[in-house]
Structure 1
Amino acid sequence: MLLTRENDYAIRMLRAMRDGQKHTMKDICQEEEIPEAFAYKIVRKLQKAGIVEVERGAAGGCRMGRSLTELTLYDVVAAVDEEPVIMPCLRKSCSRNTGGNACKVHMELAQIQRVLMRELKARTLSEVF
């Protein structure tokens, strides 16, 4: 899985809102080349996580709900994918880890997963943008 297109779009949407001002979805999508229908689904997840604020109506739009210095890449990825993992088998115990024999592939992927999560948590949006 690594980082999905939805993760990429969420990060780009936040980049478009980095100035803290209110932006329309249309402007965000044009600036960041994101399909509008997909963006609405993503912004709902970001709003639910408290990352963005949304105002509806003719004068509505979206703006950052939290500071770029306190938000990490992990916060964005986790808001879009509730349980971000690089491979589906890392969501649960690997079925091959039975009888005391650990699956070496699972163990290696779990290590890579730990490194990826640590690195995503170490990068704030202010550093990235």
Structure 2
Amino acid sequence: MLLTRENDYAIRMLRAMKDGEKHTMKDICQEEEIPEAFAYKIVRKLQKAGIVDVERGASGGCRVGRGLSELTLYDVVTAVDEEPVIMPCLRKSCRRNTGGNTCKVHVELAEIQRVLVRELKARTLSDLF
């Protein structure tokens, strides 16, 4: 699958934090209708990627760690998952592309994949929110 539920939730969580202020996970989850247990897993990945800052404790919360105009959809997607692919065979070399034979399906899907990555990199979060 191209974009996962985890990608969707990550984008929605960042939308809830778009104002740059600190937000609790509970508030983010309620606003964006995201299960809290899943959200904690996602926010750890976003934090590791440097996309969000997390403060722990009673007065803690999360905020976007970089400007929305600096963050692309590609940044978010790859922070929570591997690079998105439209078909699993695009993760590795297709075994049908050997011995001078080229799998036309693989070639066409690889081109679509390149366009997808280019478009994800071209869309900033400030374009969306």
Q: What amino acid is aligned across from residue 67 of structure 2 in structure 1? A: S
1:87 aligned onto 2:91? no
Q: What corresponds to 2:104 in structure 1?
A: 104
How far did 1:83 drift?
A: 2.4
User: TM-score normalized by structure 2?
Assistant: 0.97
Q: What corresponds to 1:35 in structure 2?
A: 35
3-state SS of 1:63 partner: strand
Q: What corresponds to 1:25 in structure 2?
A: 25
| Equivalent residues, number | 129
Tell me the distance in 2 between the aligned counterparts of 1:14 and 1:92.
31
Q: State the identity %.
A: 88
Q: Deviations over 1:34-90 (max 9, x none)?
A: 111111111011000000000111111100000001101111011111322121111
Two-structure CA RMSD over aligned residues (Å): 0.8
Q: What amino acid is aligned across from residue 128 of structure 1 in structure 2? A: L
Tell me the distance in 1 between the aligned counterparts of 2:19 and 2:116.
28
Q: Deviations over 1:65-124 (max 9, x none)?
A: 000011011110111113221211111101111111111111111111111111111111
Tell me the distance in 2 between the aligned counterparts of 1:89 and 1:50.
30
Note the residue ranges of structure 2 that are not aligned, 5 or more in a row. Answer: none
Note the residue ranges of structure 1 that are not aligned, 5 or more in a row. Answer: none
3-state SS of 1:93 partner: coil
Tell me the distance in 1 between the aligned counterparts of 2:87 and 2:39.
25
Tell me the distance in 2 between the aligned counterparts of 1:125 and 1:100.
42
Q: Deviations over 1:19-45 (max 9, x none)?
A: 000000111011001111111111011
Tell me the distance in 1 between the aligned counterparts of 2:103 and 2:38.
37
3-state SS of 1:44 partner: helix
Q: What corresponds to 1:121 in structure 2?
A: 121
Off by >4 Å, runs of 4+ in structure 1:
none
Tell me the distance in 2 between the aligned counterparts of 1:3 and 1:28.
21
User: TM-score normalized by structure 1?
Assistant: 0.97
Map 1:68-83 onto structure 2 (within 5 A). Answer: 68-83=68-83
